[in-house]
Amino acid sequence: MANKPDDPAMLETKQQYTHPPGILVSDHYIQPYGYSCYRAQGTKDWLIIYTLSGRGSICNGANGYLSCAAETLTIVSPGTTQDYFTEQGYIWEKMWAHFMPRLTWMDWIPSSNTDGPIIQLHINNDSSRKAIDSAFSRVISYRLYEDSILRDELTLNALEEIILLVASQNQSKRELDSRVQDVLNIISRQYMDYIRIEDLGKSVCLSPSRLSHLFKEQVGDSIMETLMKYRLRQAEQLLKHTLRPITEIALAVGFHSPDYFSRQFSSHFGVTPSNYRKKFREGML
């Protein structure tokens, strides 16, 4: 039984536990039949498993067990029962990490694509497999880095690569309507400008109502929600990597009211722009 009750990542959801974004624990396991792990109430963090070879099984709620075969990536959300083991006749080789995500990752981590709570993807693209393998190896190796602030940032950046590759893999399974893609391209180029749905509709030869419905159906967010998130992400990067005043940043990403920008940023990230910048400089993000 793999169980480390003193490890923060292993604290069950009934216990009080908070932690800033980061990798709580990670490792590379090669485990024969007989290896198992069971946490009835799951954990307060996320668990990600990348199977390199062999085969394991993981409980998928009331829908039985999912097989973790080679080149599958499995993600378990907080509070989900964790019940997994090496299947009989196999040696399960996997890389794994318990982590607390950055807020921005929540837009990239896909919803469950199985009949239960587990998220599982087969990485069928050779370049994606190599990239995930490399990034996961760095997640594990960076734990030996001496500088704690740089270590945490390096591991988070490496895991972010994996999350982005997962998002890309998940997105590639559904082809976006070319008109929706055109609107996304316009938003990415002109997010700082005043954008009207009517004008977007004209550019792709759709009525505003038809475009709004199609966009929401395919993207999951409305056009205005997508525009807002894009502006906030751009503002986040400027807060992190420049010394520009917050008012100037607000105007640069398309907000004409700094107060409105601050309210939207606080709602999305949970802290004000000034506190976000402070936390980033102190290594807390």
Residues 167 and 47 in one domain: yes
Q: Is residue 1 part of a domain?
A: no
Q: Which domain holds residue 197?
A: 178-281
Residues 182 and 267 in one domain: yes
Q: Which one of 144, 172, 200 terminates a domain?
A: 172
Residues 168 and 141 in one domain: yes
Highest mean pLDDT among 31-40, 128-137, 219-228: 31-40
- Please give the share of the chain, as a percent, with pLDDT higher than 90: 54
Q: Which one of 172, 204, 220 terminates a domain?
A: 172
pTM of the model: 0.60
With a cut of 60, say whether residue 8 has pLDDT above it. Answer: no
CA 253 – CA 233 distance, rounded (Å): 9
Q: Is residue 3 part of a domain?
A: no
Instruction: Name 72's bridge partners.
Output: 122
pLDDT tens digits, 112-149 = 778 889 999 988 778 888 999 999 999 999 887 777 77
CA 223 – CA 218 distance, rounded (Å): 11
Residues 204 and 237 in one domain: yes
Residues 154 and 197 in one domain: no
Cα angle 18, 159, 177; round to 5: 110
Q: Is residue 2 part of a domain?
A: no
Number of domains in the chain: 2
Q: Which one of 148, 172, 196 terminates a domain?
A: 172
Q: Is residue 143 part of a domain?
A: yes
